[in-house]
Amino acid sequence: MNLREKIEKEITEKVMTKLASEKVELNLVGDAKKIVKQANVEFDKLDKAENNYQNAIDKYEKIRDVFLEADAQTSGSKFRLKKIIDEMNAIKKQFVKTGEDLGIDYKQIAEFKSLEMNLKTAIAYEEGATEQGKEIRKFL
């Protein structure tokens, strides 16, 4: 091989090495762009998920406030109704005792009938409030 061929061969090898190196660099640039684009798509999805999460939290807190208020109302009414039931039972016992002591048919007195009917209703409402409270607290 003459000198000229050796020089051409050496130059060709250097050029080919340089071209191969540039091709690798171009592939890396392309790979980097592609993966960054994929990452940005996921960033956008995560941002949307975060917004959805925050909106859900806001809605949950508003609904939770409604449940808390309903629980407070139910508990308060149940407590007061229990006291009323106790008073109604005490008055009923007095009706029975007084009626028996005086020998009168207290069961025919309109107020006694009303008391008995409303006592049954109050007991049913108090029991309903207990169940309602349990259901409400499932959400708290």
Q: Where are the domains of the chain?
A: 3-137
Distance linking the first and last C-alpha atoms of the chain: 91
Q: What is residue 20's predicted lDDT score, i.e. its pLDDT? A: 59
pTM, 2 dp = 0.61
Dist. CA 3–CA 133, nearest whole Å: 101
Q: How far apart are the C-alpha atoms of 79 and 90, rounded to whole Å?
A: 17
Element (DSSP H or E) covering residue 78: helix 3-102
CA distance 9 to 16: 10
pLDDT mean for each 10 residues of the chain (140 residues): 72 66 66 85 94 95 95 96 98 96 94 97 96 92
CA distance linking residue 5 with residue 3, whole number of Å: 5
